[in-house]
Amino acid sequence: AAGVIQSPRHLIKEKRETATLKCYPIPRHDTVYWYQQGPGQDPQFLISFYEKMQSDKGSIPDRFSAQQFSDYHSELNMSSLELGDSALYFCASRQQGYYGYTFGSGTRLTVV
Amino acid sequence: AQTVTQSQPEMSVQEAETVTLSCTYDTSESDYYLFWYKQPPSRQMILVIRQEAYKQQNATENRFSVNFQKAAKSFSLKISDSQLGDAAMYFCAYRSAPSGGGADGLTFGKGTHLIIQP
């Protein structure tokens, strides 16, 4: 079965640089979520989209933005990167009306 | 805001034995969903089991079952016949039901590291 695809798997950036993470949800899943998991921490909800509209916002810094496109894939744009942004970034998707969230394998971002 | 508490940072169990992981949560909502996720060393987040708060019957998935006590706001996970492949970080998570108008994202606990002794 198709899963949630995230790219890239690993990313190394320098401070103050910009990064773009991509997420391709499972076919027919119309809702996408982004989570940030710092080292040894629990995942923190950043933002979600339903039908290309932002549906909820969590602890996402102002330096980050995201959007969902017409094919339902989503991108998380991170600017002015800081060392503290180093984390595992998960994308999850689900179909509205169902509560089975499927997570991708994550993108490990390292800011140096 | 809802909070999820996992009071056991680490648990250890002998292979083939049973272990119970604790989770409590705080909410003023009456309708919500609870989840247990497993995160092995690969870091993939894998859904173990899900419970709808309006259902009184405890969810079961093969060797995994929950003890859902709504009044006590408790949602423990029991793993029977533990296997080496069960070794992972286990996260309890909460989500508001749409009817409640609460947050769309999952709120996670801090996790319990489960060690399986051969």
Test the B interface: residue of A10, A30, A42 with most B CBs within 10 Å: A42
CA distance B72 to chain A (A): 23
Whether the predicted pLDDT of B76 surpasses 70? yes
CB of A92 within 8 Å of a chain B CB? The answer is: yes
* Phi, psi (degrees; rounded to nearest 5) at A85: -80, -10
Query: In this predicted structure, what is the pLDDT of residue A97?
Result: 75
pLDDT at A109 over 70: yes
CB B50 within 8 A of CB B33: yes
Question: In the predicted model, what is the mean pLDDT of chain A?
Answer: 93
Cβ neighbors of B53 (< 8 A, separation 6 or more) are: B30, B31, B32, B33, B34, B68, B70, B97
Question: Which of B94, B106, B110 best tests the A interface by mutation, with the highest count of A CBs <10 A?
Answer: B106
Mean pLDDT within B4-10: 97
Structure confidence at residue A1 as a pLDDT band (50, 70, 90): low
Nearest CA to B8 out of B19, B18, B22 is that of: B22
